[in-house]
Structure 1
Amino acid sequence: MDGRSMTGETSVSLDAVDHAILSVLQADGRLGVTEIGRRINLSQPAVSARIKRLEQSGVITGYRAVVDPTRLGLSIHAVVRLRTTHARIPASLDHFAQLPEIVSIYRLTGEDCFLLDVHAASAERLEAIVDSVARFGPVTTSLVLRTYQTKPMEPGRPQRP
């Protein structure tokens, strides 16, 4: 294996300290480098240099606030699967970009082409979104009953049998 992913990008070699930094940042991206260093027993300049390298190599792609959609009045959470044709994929993507309720778009293999993560204020708004997406092909909509906490990424750690 040459370290290239399916997209052709080269993977980055990470050591245990890099993994520790990533783990701390995924738990709390607002921590300062001094506190990160204290938690993993590394100096502030060393932590700063490693974080900069992780950012420049594309391992760390950004920092963001995690927002509770229900607190914003978006009480309906659904996943919408769309089956379309290859010719309609660009138009579909353009349409998705116009709908702020679609917060994640996944291109899929198999029968469905896209999985959309949708947060809407009402059932009527979800209906309008589903109807607008359905012009590109058959859709299947599922309401999300509960979201469980996601796990932080731990790439590059081989699993033991």
Structure 2
Amino acid sequence: MITKRKALHTMEPLDQTDRKILALLQTDGRLSGAEVGRRVGLSQPAASARILRLERQGIITGYRATVDPAAVGLNIHAVVRLRTTHAHLGAALQLAARTDEVTSTRRVTGEDCLILDVHCGDAGRLEQVVDSLARFGPVSTALVLRDYPDKPLMQYRPTGA
């Protein structure tokens, strides 16, 4: 099991092969080392060694299954923005962490402090979640009409790379 941690500041730089491996695994984390190697032009042992190095460096932080929320009865997806004070931030983060319907939490700059993805089975439960967050400050809610696939992170090159 890979534990989530920050990438080491002294890590080896990523080359094009590492970037290709990362893009492949972000698209399909179940690819075998042999298949990854075939797609990037490496032997299975060489590809597996690179994957292990990327895991050890904290670049690959884990593998997971992606679940369709609607297929499990969570038909409402909302983005909730919370504006709070520094004094209430910790309590708001704790509430978000223990609320099952909150599937992601981002602390952001600007007028809002937190942006949360919320998946609920019905509007009544969304109302309860929003009301529980509103005790920490003004809340703004937007219903998501459609989700589009995420792009693999490693198809982009950071400036200077």
Instruction: Tell me the TM-score normalized by structure 1.
Output: 0.90
Letter in 2 for 1:118: V
Partner of 1:38: 38
Q: Is the 8 A contact 1:14 1:156 kept in 2?
A: no
Paired with 1:67 and 1:8, the residues of 2 have a C-alpha distance of: 27
1:119-134 matches, within 5 Å, as: 119-134=119-134
Cα shift at 1:9:
5.8
* Alignment RMSD: 1.9
Gaps of 5+ in 1: 1-6
Partner of 1:68: 68
- % of aligned pairs identical? 58
Paired with 1:157 and 1:11, the residues of 2 have a C-alpha distance of: 19
Paired with 1:156 and 1:26, the residues of 2 have a C-alpha distance of: 13
Q: Is the 8 A contact 2:8 2:58 kept in 1?
A: no
Letter in 2 for 1:129: V
Paired with 1:11 and 1:154, the residues of 2 have a C-alpha distance of: 19
Tell me the SS of whatever aligns to 2:154: coil
Letter in 2 for 1:10: H
Structure 1 residues 53, 114: CA separation in 2 closer, same or farther (over 3 Å shift)?
Answer: same
Partner of 1:24: 24
Structure 1 residues 116, 11: CA separation in 2 closer, same or farther (over 3 Å shift)?
Answer: farther
Structure 1 residues 145, 39: CA separation in 2 closer, same or farther (over 3 Å shift)?
Answer: same
Cα shift at 1:10:
2.0
Instruction: Tell me the TM-score normalized by structure 2.
Output: 0.90
Paired with 1:44 and 1:146, the residues of 2 have a C-alpha distance of: 38
Tell me the SS of whatever aligns to 2:80: strand
Paired with 2:8 and 2:136, the residues of 1 have a C-alpha distance of: 31
Structure 1 residues 8, 55: CA separation in 2 closer, same or farther (over 3 Å shift)?
Answer: closer
Q: Is the 8 A contact 2:20 2:40 kept in 1?
A: yes
Residue-by-residue CA offset, 1:51-77 (whole Å, 9 max, x unaligned)? 011001111000000110000100000
Partner of 1:141: 141
